[in-house]
Amino acid sequence: MKVLGIEDARSGGQISAVHVHRTPTLGRLPGVVLLSSFGLLSIALVFVNGLVGTTWADLFYWLGLLLIILPVAFRLFSLSVSRLERIGLVTYTGLSLYLVKVMHNPFMFTFSDELLHYRNADNILGSRFLFGENSILPVSAFYPGLETVTTAIASLSGLSLFTSGLLVIGVARLVIMLALYLLFEQVSRSSRVAGLAVLLYMANSNFLYWSAQFSYESLSLPLGILVLYALVKQTSTKDRQMKGGLTLVMLLLISAIIITHHVTSYALFTFLVILSIAYSFLQIRTKRKQPNTWGLALVTGGLTLIWLFLVANSTTDYLSQIFKQAFASVLLLFTGEESGRALFTSSVGIIAPLWERMVGIGSVLLIFIGILSGLFVLWRRRRLAPFTIVLAMAAQLYFVALGLRFTGAGWEVANRTSEFLFVGIAYLIAFGFGALRLRYPKNHSIAFVFTGYMAILIVGGVIAGWPPDLRISKPTLVSVNGTTLQPQGLVASSWILANHGSDNQMIAPTSDALMMLAYGRQHAKTGKIYAIQELLTKKHDLKWQTEILQTVQTRFVVTDRRRVSWDGMLGPYFSPTGVTLTNEVFFFPAEIFNLFDEQAQIPRIFDSGDIVIYDVGGLSSVTQTK
Amino acid sequence: MLRRQSDLLLGILLTLILIGLAVSSILPPFLQGLVAFPIVLFVPGNALIRAIFPEANLTRLDRFLFTVGLSLGVVVLSGLALNITPWGLQTKSWLWILSLVILVTSVIALWRRWQISDMELTPVEFYIPLRQILLLGLAIVVIGLALKLTLTPHLPDNIQGYTSLWILPELGTQSDVLLIGIHSQELETTNYSLQFTYNGEAIQKFPDISLESGSQWQYNISVPSGQGLVEAVLYRVDSPGIIYRHVSFTLNK
């Protein structure tokens, strides 16, 4: 029987075709899949109520994650694994980790970015047109690629937006796994290095939750990786028809990326420009004709600019604000005017346990060692391969990003770059390990070293990327005697929509504003703009309050006595038991919470304990629904 | 020849079936989803990739990957195109534009394939022993169990229940009527007492309202006409001295 792509250890990891009779093409994949499926079961047990809040929760959670990853890591490191098995293993692992995110909340979107995009999708379904208003993140509405695909499925299938969104992101996850594998395989010319690199990519701090959420980057990045694969395939073929076809494929994908996500299109453009420079440099140096990728880079840049200026011109303000703040934060840190961000501390001040801090720092050190080793091996073997040069350059930017993690405003930029930079990092580390494996083919302990390395990177990545309070699923729907109960923010959103209609202007703490935006279909505003946070968390005189309310033109004010309501990620859930109202770590003092109660003319129309809604139309002169 | 074109013909058939189903609306959502899913995420890309690469010069994996990627791309761009039409993005317009893309690219693919006389199609040879099928089956069962577990709403451990109290002017009534509602999201049956005041004077009281978890209570209350402040104060019967919830409404007539 013919089996393609079995790797021959003696050929140095090169792909070759060999003939094997009656050899199961999946190798040990079914066994490994079965073993790691128990990892999913372990995490599911943690996520259901039985283990939440118990001392076993953390243990079963980490055990589950390691059970998903480590058998695959051990198997992938082996020399006698078929290409098909490697592809199956990495695809299965990527999809398994996606299921962890799905199991985290299988009933509705609750992550802050998901709620923003849910509203955009809901707008499209309701109005039938793109570019509707999004009061919290206006720029997101100008990149409607994800929402377009989701609403297409929802419209044609009758499935809910939530289910359609999960399906789209699941397909995007499948695409990124396969595209990364083929990209790494094409660049390294080794299916083993490709398999290891894809697995290492999963150790980036955003892979488990952030890149699996219903958000534009979760779709655009897989398409971006697919473009890179098509490009590397195009530059390595001499078939003119194939070249032309792949160019067409790339143009179509690039157009879709530009409509889907700003940063991915800029990152792709930057990658293409640097790659073109590398090819040009190589052509001058070797005096041999090299592929010309300038045309594709220019088309990408041109289309990006057209979209930016004709459709999404608010993007420049939005992104420049983020980068300006990050830059200022770095400057302040250097001048000593800013003390720097406390690492391993969540937004509500919870400090990670000692072992987590040690693993987090250990994983960074191991990445550093891995990058250096990979660079050393690459320098000796492939220093003139332009794709490799660009990937290596991307990997080194990781250290710049690490520095930004110490700053207050730069942290977000650093965190969000990890899924881009890890394409280079994973490749370098995998190349280093691949070379080590070939150098000592009979030394089986190296497989254990790689598996241990992988364990620290995976755990360290999750620790660095996601706050401890959010790793384990929190209840959004609770069953009591056959009745399903919902958290306050959700009930308040449904109530306002049912009784006051959609699109009312309102101000609210972050998590309530997101729920009101997504599930209440309101024009909710939050944060520091118009001094909303100042208004809702500090005591001021009525004159000042009225000025703000008139400036924002708000009809409703939502107050929330929980401090956590200002955290968009942690806020939307049920309150825990055992916390008294006098505990000022968890709750605002009563005089802040009952902000408008002294003004008898302001109707207090809804009270659910933590959340109170005031109708301030009388103060702001806004009485009509838009 | 027909076998060589089977994937494209199947795509066209699937598209026609979906058009028929969408027009007749006879399928339940789940089955409609099963048909619609490939129409959005596979068939357009498949037809396009066959039109671009009529020869079998892409590997199966490449072909599959580009098919899915291009389907996503085609849908995104189609959505943009629909946005400039008066119909916008709705079921029928999606159906028409995707059908158009699929049919046009399928015809191009069929024509281009027709011109290649001796296209090589490598047969797929795949062998999975029974033991591996059993292992995979078992893994699917374990994963299914994990999903089933998390798809069950949580039990009410370590969380606080709550009650919402709200007030609304009753629309469509001539007199000053307010609608009051209590919605219990408590973890057990709870007894309340509710008291109404008008400009500080008690006007009505409900000493014992019992609500099970998830249930609601509503009441229309008529208040004297003219300017005044109506307040509703809710107490739990087990803590009678402590205000549990309160809402208010100002009448300006």
Per-residue pLDDT of B29-38, as tens digits, reads 677 777 788 8
Residue (of B130, B187, B137, B179) closest to B162 by Cα position: B187
Furthest CA-CA distance within chain B: 95
| Short-list A24, A174, A95, A83, CA closest to B59 | A83
- The span from the first CA to the last CA of chain B, in angstroms, equals 82
Return the closest-CA partner of residue A109 out of A471, A466, A476.
A476
How far is residue A304's CA from residue A525's CA, in Å, rounded to a whole number? 29
pLDDT value, residue A19: 43
Predicted confidence at residue B124, as pLDDT, reads 63
Decide if A218 contacts A146 (C-beta within 8 A).
yes
Q: Residue A380's pLDDT is what?
A: 83
Three-point CA angle A120, A178, A96, nearest 5°: 70
Give the dihedral sign, CA A79/A82/A87/A90: negative
Q: Across the interface, which of A44, A129, A492 has its CB nearest the CB of B149?
A: A44
pLDDT at B123: 62
Residues in chain B with CB shorter than 8 Å from the CB of A483 are: 212-215
- Sorted by sequence, the CB contacts under 8 Å of residue A199 that are 6+ apart come out as A69, A72, A73, A76, A90, A93, A454
CB A219 to CB B72 under 8 A?
yes
Ranges of H-type helices in A440-509: 445-465, 468-471, 488-500
Return the pLDDT at B117: 63
CB A610 within 8 A of CB A575: yes
Q: Which of A153, A256, A602 sits opposite B77 (nearest CB)?
A: A256
Contact B240, B248 (CB under 8 A): no
Collect all residues with Cβ–Cβ distance below 8 Å to B191 and sequence separation of at least 6. B208, B209, B210, B236, B237, B238
Q: A511: distance to nearest CA of chain B, Å? A: 18
Mean of the per-residue pLDDT values of chain B: 86
pLDDT at A4: 36
Which range is least confidently modeled, A383-387, A522-526, B87-91, B145-149? A383-387
Helices (H), A312-444: 314-335, 354-381, 386-404, 410-439
A342 with A411: CB under 8 angstroms? no
CA angle centred on B227, ends B226 and B233, rounded to 5°: 110
**Can you count the helices (H) and strands (E) in chain A?**
23, 9
B169 pairs with which residues across the strands? B178
Could you tell me if A180 lies within 8 Å of chain B, comparing CB atoms? Answer: no
Nearest CA in chain A to B249: A603
Interface test with A, best of B19, B141, B150 (most A CBs within 10 A): B150
What tokens does A4 get? 């393609």
Average the pLDDT over A243-258 and give the result.
96
Are A37 and B146 an interchain contact pair (Cβ–Cβ within 8 Å)?
yes
SS3 state of residue A507 = strand
Full 3-state SS string of A610-622? CEEEEECHHHHCC
pLDDT of B147 strictly over 80 = yes
Q: What is the ipTM of this complex?
A: 0.91
pLDDT of amino acid B17: 76
Interchain pair A99, B185: CB under 8 A: no
User: Is residue A224 scored above 90 in pLDDT?
Assistant: yes
Question: Within the 441-500 window of chain A, which residues sit less than 8 Å (CB to CB) from chain B?
Answer: 473, 475, 477-481, 483-486, 488, 491-492, 495, 499
For residue range A41-77, what is the model confidence (pLDDT) as tens digits? 999 999 886 555 567 888 899 999 999 999 999 999 9
Task: Tell me the per-residue pLDDT of A447-485, one tens digit each, with 9 for 90 and over.
Answer: 999 999 999 999 999 998 888 778 888 888 888 888 899
Write out the DSSP string of chain B.
-TTTTHHHHHHHHHHHHHHHHHHHT-S-HHHHHHHHHHHHHTHHHHHHHHHH--SS-S-HHHHHHHHHHHHHHHHHHHHHHHHTSTT-SSHHHHHHHHHHHHHHHHHHHHHHHHH-TT---PPP-----HHHHHHHHHHHHHHHHHHHHHTSPBP--SB--EEEEEEEEPTT-SS-EEEEEEEEE-SS-EEEEEEEEETTEEEEEEEEEEE-TT-EEEEEEE--SSEEEEEEEEEETTEEEEEEEEEEEEEE-
Chain B closest-CA separation from residue A120 CA (Å): 13
**Cβ atoms A206, A416 nearer than 8 A:** yes
Please judge whether B139 and A605 are an interchain contact, meaning their C-beta atoms are less than 8 angstroms apart.
Answer: no
Rounded CA separation B157/A574 (Å):
11
Q: Which residues contact A547 (CB under 8 A, 6 or more apart)?
A: none
Cβ neighbours around A499 below 10 Å, total: 14
pTM of the model as a whole = 0.92
Residues recorded for chain A: 626
Rounded CA separation B46/B102 (Å): 9
In contact, A395 and A371? CB cutoff 8 Å:
yes
Among B94, B143, B212, whose Cβ lies nearest the Cβ of A156?
B94
CB B158 within 8 A of CB A576: yes
> How distant, in Å, are the alpha carbons of A254, A255, A295, A305, B151 from that of A298?
12, 13, 5, 10, 48
Alpha carbon of B123: minimum distance to chain A alpha carbons (Å): 10
Cβ-Cβ contacts under 8 Å for A516 (sequence gap 6 or more)? A489, A492, A493, A496, A506, A508, A522, A524, A558
Of A175, A480, A607, the CB nearest to B187: A480
A204 pLDDT above the threshold of 50: yes
Q: How far is A515 from chain B (nearest CA, A)?
A: 17
Quote the CA–CA distance of A338 and A407 in Å, as a whole number. Answer: 8
Residue A340 scores a pLDDT above 70 = no
Name chain B contacts of A53, Cβ cutoff 8 Å: 157-158
Partner A, chain B 132-151, Cβ-Cβ below 8 Å: 132-133, 135-136, 138-140, 142-143, 145-147, 149-151
Q: Is B42 on the interface with A (CB under 8 A)?
A: no
Chain segment A341-383, per-residue pLDDT in tens = 667 776 666 677 888 889 999 999 999 999 999 999 888 876 6
Q: If you measure CA to CA, which chain A residue comes closest to B22?
A: A156
Quick one: three-class SS letters along A96-149?
HHHHHHHHHCCCCCCCHHHHHHHHHHHHHHHHCCCCCCCCCCHHHHHCCHHHHH
* pLDDT(B145) > 90: yes
Taking an 8 Å cut-off on Cβ atoms, the answer to whether B33 and A158 are in contact is yes
Q: What is the DSSP track for B137-200? A: HHHHHHHHHHHHHHTSPBP--SB--EEEEEEEEPTT-SS-EEEEEEEEE-SS-EEEEEEEEETT
Instruction: From chain A, pick out residues whose CB is under 8 angstroms from the CB of B48.
Output: 252
Q: Tell me if chain B has a CB within 8 Å of the CB of A230.
A: yes
Rg (Cα) of chain A, in Å, rounded? 26
Q: Between B174 and B53, where is the model more confident?
A: B53
What percentage of chain A carries pLDDT values higher than 70?
92
Q: What mean pLDDT value characterizes chain A?
A: 88
Phi first, then psi: give them for residue A556, nearest 5 degrees: -125, 145
Q: Flag whether pLDDT at B1 surpasses 70.
A: no
Q: Is A37 strand, coil or helix?
A: helix
pLDDT given at position A265: 96
Are B219 and B179 in contact by the 8 Å Cβ rule? The answer is yes
pLDDT in tens, A382-397: 666 889 889 999 998 8
